[in-house]
Structure 1
Amino acid sequence: MARATRTNAQPTTGGGGVPSAAPGGGLPMAECEKMIRRSLRDPKVKFLREKLEKSGCGIGSNFIKGYNCEEAIAGGYNRAEGVVVCCNHLQIQDQVTQVVIHELIHAYDDCRAANLDWANCAHHACTEIRAAHLSGDCHYKRELFRGFLKLRGHEQECVRRRVMQSLASNPNCSETGAKDATEAVWNICYNDTEPFDTVP
C-alpha cells in the first residue's frame, strides 16, 4: 500500500504494496519516468488498461507516477493516487514494468468490486494473491534473482510469501490474521484469472 509524495511514500489504506525489488541504488527520476512510459507498451499493461477502460475505470496519463519512497517497497496502488512506482527501489526496466502490471491488477480489482475494503484482511489478501499470481511476480527467473531456488511448487510458495509481505504493512492484519485470511480466500482468489482468460 502506498500513498506518495514526490519525495517519499507513506503507508495508507489503499492497497497493493509490492516488496522492494532492489536492495539499494535505484533509478534517477527522469530515467524511471522513461521506463514507466516504455512499460505502457508492454502487452499485459496495454491489456489491463483496456480492461479498466471497458469496466468504466479509465485511467488518465497521470495515473501511473514515479516517486522516491521511504518504505522498502517497489510500488503501490491507492484509489486517490493511482499507481506509484518507487523509482529509488528499482534498477531495471523489467522491474518497473512488473510493478506497473502488479498494481494495475489491484486497480482492476478495485474497479470491478465496488465493496473492496483494503482494511479487510481477506479482501486485501485476495487482491494480493491475484496480483502476485497473474502479474508474473513469481516466475522462476525472478525467484532465482531473489535467491529462491526451488523447481517444484515454487510459484504458489512465492505467491504466499509475497502476500504475507504485503499484508504485513496493513495495520488491520496481525501475522496470524494475515495467514488465516490468505488460507480462507486462497482457492477462489488463486483460481480467479479475470480479466485474463487464463493465467498469462
Structure 2
Amino acid sequence: MAGAPDQRQPGPAAGEQLQQPQVSCQVFPERLAQGNPQQGFFSSFITHNQKCQQMLLKTVETNPYVKLLLDAMKHSGCAVNKERHFSCEDCNGNVSGGFDASTSQIVLCQNNIRNQAHMSRVVTHELIHAFDHCRAHVHWFTNVRHLACSEVRAANLSGDCSLVNEIFRLRFGLKQHHQTCVRDRAILSILAVRNISKEVAEKAVDEVFESCFNDHEPFGRIPHNEKYARYAHRDFQNRDRYYSNI
C-alpha cells in the first residue's frame, strides 16, 4: 500500500485463500462485513465500470511492469486470471485499490483511479504483494514486519517513487530521495491498513528496510521507468528460458 491518495491493502495472492484471524481493517470495511463487493452510486452507470475494465485490459496487455509480474506469478505457480482476480468497483474515501483477503481479489477503485498511468501503478503495486505472498509465507495480519517488507518492495519497484511522480508531489532534489520516498510511503501504507501507532510502523520499516529495499525480485533491478521495466522483463524471459534448458 501507499499513502493517500494511493491507499491499497495487501493480502493473499491471487488464486489462494489464506486463513487469518479477523483484524481491524480501515480500507474495505463494507466488503469485510458483507462478504461481497460494495455497490456504490457510480456502479449503477455501466460506462464507469467499463472505463475501469478497459484501462485494466490495456495495463495487463501493454504495461511492462505488469507483464513481468504476471509472468513471474505464473512461473511461481500462482497464475492470475483477469476475470477472477481483479474487480472494478466503488470504494470509500480516496482509496485507489487493494487486496481483499476474503476473496483473493485485487480491488480496483473505479471511482478513484484517475487515468491509465494511475491504473498501471495500482495494479503493479498489488501484484508485487501477490508475488510476495506466492513465493513466501507472509503473515500479513500477524507480523507487521512482513507487511512492512512487502510495502517497502512495492513502493520501491512499482514506480510509486519515480522522479515524475515525486515532481507531481512537489518533492524532489534531496540526497537519497528515492530511499526516503520508499520509506515514507511504506509507513503511510501500513498506517492506512493497520490500527497501530506511527512509531510502531516506523520501527517495523526501519528494521526490514535494508534487506527488503535490496530485494528486487522478480525485476532483478529497480525499474525506475517503463524503459527499465522492459529491460527487466526481457531479462526475466531470458532467465526463464535458460533454466528451462538445464
> Same fold by TM-score, threshold 0.5 exceeded?
yes
Equivalent residue, structure 2, for 1:7: 39
2 CA distance for matches of 1:143 and 1:181? 24
What pairs up with 1:5-44 in 2 under 5 angstroms? 5-7=37-39, 28-41=48-61, 42-44=63-65
Q: Do 1:52 and 1:111's aligned partners in 2 also have CA atoms closer than 8 Å?
A: yes
CA drift at 1:185: 0.3
**TM-score, scaled relative to structure 1:** 0.83
What pairs up with 1:7-86 in 2 under 5 angstroms? 7=39, 28-41=48-61, 42-62=63-83, 63-79=85-101, 80-86=103-109
Q: Do 1:65 and 1:84's aligned partners in 2 also have CA atoms closer than 8 Å?
A: yes
1 CA distance for matches of 2:196 and 2:146? 11
CA drift at 1:151: 4.5
Matched, 1:156 2:179: yes
Equivalent residue, structure 1, for 2:127: 104
CA drift at 1:104: 0.3
Higher relative contact order, chain-length normalized (CA < 8 Å, sep 6+): 2
What pairs up with 1:135-174 in 2 under 5 angstroms? 135-174=158-197
* 129, 144, 154: which one aligns with 1:121: 144
CA drift at 1:111: 0.7
2 CA distance for matches of 1:85 and 1:37? 12
Q: Give the number of the structure whose alpha-carbon radius of gyration is greater.
A: 2
Q: Do 2:156 and 2:182's aligned partners in 1 also have CA atoms closer than 8 Å?
A: yes
Q: Do 1:119 and 1:170's aligned partners in 2 also have CA atoms closer than 8 Å?
A: no
1 CA distance for matches of 2:174 and 2:199? 28
Compared CA separation, residues 160 and 115, structure 1 to 2 (3 A):
closer
Q: Do 2:53 and 2:88's aligned partners in 1 also have CA atoms closer than 8 Å?
A: yes
Per-residue CA deviation, residues 36-88 of structure 1 (Å, 9 max, x unaligned), is 11000212211111111111111112212212110422111234332111121
**TM-score, scaled relative to structure 2:** 0.69
- Paired residue secondary structure (1:73): coil
Per residue, is there more helix in 1 or in 2? 2
- Paired residue secondary structure (1:28): helix
Q: Do 2:138 and 2:146's aligned partners in 1 also have CA atoms closer than 8 Å?
A: no
Count of aligned pairs: 182
Q: Do 1:121 and 1:172's aligned partners in 2 also have CA atoms closer than 8 Å?
A: no
What is the aligned-residue identity percentage? 35
Worse overlay, 89-98 or 140-149: 140-149
CA drift at 1:6: 4.1
Q: Which runs of 5+ in 2 are unaligned?
A: 1-8, 10-26, 32-36, 41-46, 224-246
Per residue, is there more strand in 1 or in 2? 1
